[in-house]
Amino acid sequence: MPPRPRKSKTANAMWGGRFAAGPAAVMQQINASIDVDKRLYAQDIRGSLAHCEMLIRRKILSAKDGAAIRRGLRRVLAEIESGKFRFQTALEDIHMNVEARLAELIGPAAGRLHTARSRNDQVATDFRLWVRDAIDGLDQRLRNLQRALIDKAERHAGSVMPGFTHLQPAQPVTFGHHLLAYVEMLGRDRGRLADCRRRLNESPLGAAALAGTSFPIDRVMTAKALGFDRPMANSLDAVSSRDFALEFLSAASVAGIHLSRLADELVLWTTPQFGFVRLSDAYTTGSSIMPQKRNPDAAELVRAKTGRLLGSLVGLSVMMKGLPLAYSKDMQEDKERVFAAADALDLSLAAMAGMIADLTVDTDAMRRAATGGFSTATDIADWLVRALGLPFREAHHVTGRIVRLAEERGGTLEDLPLAALQAIEPRITRAVAGVLGVERSVASRTSYGGTAPANVRKAAREARRRYLRA
């Protein structure tokens, strides 16, 4: 039989009046969250300072006690930031660790700070502040990656590469056009995070445990002091909702999926079979046994970290789906998932921006690949529609026969003599040669959003204006 867990000798001094004895050691271990939620220290102290100022203004707290609390909280903050603060598991979480140290510094006045609030509204406030700060940091990371992509796209607005569908050569595009597709995706990622930030920017502080408080507090004052747009309208909702965290994880997961797609293309493009781009020593690693290897490990790890983001979203969704109102201790598990996801996305964005800025492009290899796979076949079909007036479906059929002939002869579409083309469609003239080169193909795609180099240069300028100068 396993040994019986030892019991703690005394109840928690912060909440233990109802209890005659302390928790079992294993209970203390499972109940504590300080190893995770100590990351909330700055937000917790900021919220406490705002709460303190409001209590003074509403004459719930004396100016003398308020001054001592302010002074003590600032010293606690300095101790944590300097690494001198000793976090205690027995005190469970960041809120009680801060309050206990405050009591050591200023005495009984520290206990007055918790008037008219609960750990329930306190943690909800801290968590919203943290996610808001994380969104602001991630927005800058996304912006930096957009800048790296736009810079590279401008330099390669006319560099022809194969465009793919089903990972098969489809039509030629330019490398700049391809990169700008990710700029647009990242722009929507920034929009989703901004929407999340806007919706979460309401203050739970003052909702207390779940029902509000009988003290004459001013929730508008604390909301304004903390940069929130308004107080949350319902005290039950304020302490029990974590939809802001779910929305954050959802937006982060979509961003991670976009990064994973780009990372996977970098992995493909750096292989000898593609050879489109090269990453330097800064973003590759070698092999312990094969001296010739240059592995795109940074890209592979970005691709892998998307699993952390999606796992965090699923984990928090499952945790929240069956919880009755208001607060349950299950919700203590929310922060670890959000912290892990934010860290993974932040690191992935930094690594991807570095890779994009670092990579060199083999334009010759890209062009050679673009000329293969009969990628200008659609240009022939379009020419048949424009020049001969064929219905597109008929033009598609004629072009398919032309492609089959080129394939049988083991050459390209440009290698076929005019007589061979006319044997399939007698009305074809020498003018069809004007659409067969890959450079001509991309230059012809002048529709809005198309891959023509002039379009790409204009789109890069517009993306720089929209995303980087705001």
pLDDT tens-digit profile, the chain (470 residues): 444 444 445 555 555 566 656 677 787 767 778 888 899 999 999 999 999 999 999 999 999 999 999 999 999 999 999 999 999 998 989 999 999 999 999 999 999 999 999 999 999 999 999 999 999 999 999 999 999 999 999 999 999 999 999 999 889 999 999 999 999 999 999 999 999 999 999 999 999 999 999 999 999 999 999 999 999 999 999 999 999 999 999 999 999 999 999 999 999 999 999 999 999 989 988 777 776 778 899 999 999 999 999 999 999 999 999 999 988 988 888 999 999 999 999 999 999 999 999 999 999 999 999 998 888 888 889 989 999 999 999 999 999 999 999 889 988 888 899 999 999 999 999 988 888 889 999 999 999 999 999 999 999 999 999 999 85
In terms of pTM, does the model score above 0.85? yes
**Residue 467: CB partners within 8 Å, gap ≥ 6?**
143, 146, 150, 183, 186, 187, 190
> How many CA atoms lie less than 13 Å away from 21 in the CB half-sphere?
8
pLDDT the model gives residue 2: 47
**pLDDT tens, residue by residue, 366-404:** 999 999 888 888 888 998 999 999 999 999 999 999 999
Distance CA 95, CA 40 (A): 9
C-alpha R_g of the chain: 31
**Residue 213: CB partners within 8 Å, gap ≥ 6?**
116, 117, 206
- The residues annotated with a catalytic role in the active site are 166, 287
Helices within 32-62 (DSSP H only): 34-37, 41-57
**pLDDT tens, residue by residue, 28-56:** 767 778 888 899 999 999 999 999 999 99
Instruction: Write b or e for each residue in 145-168: b if 16 or more Cβ atoms lie within 10 A of its Cβ, otherwise e.
Output: bbbbbbebbbebbbbbbbbbeeee
**Strand 277-278 with 360-361, pairing:** antiparallel
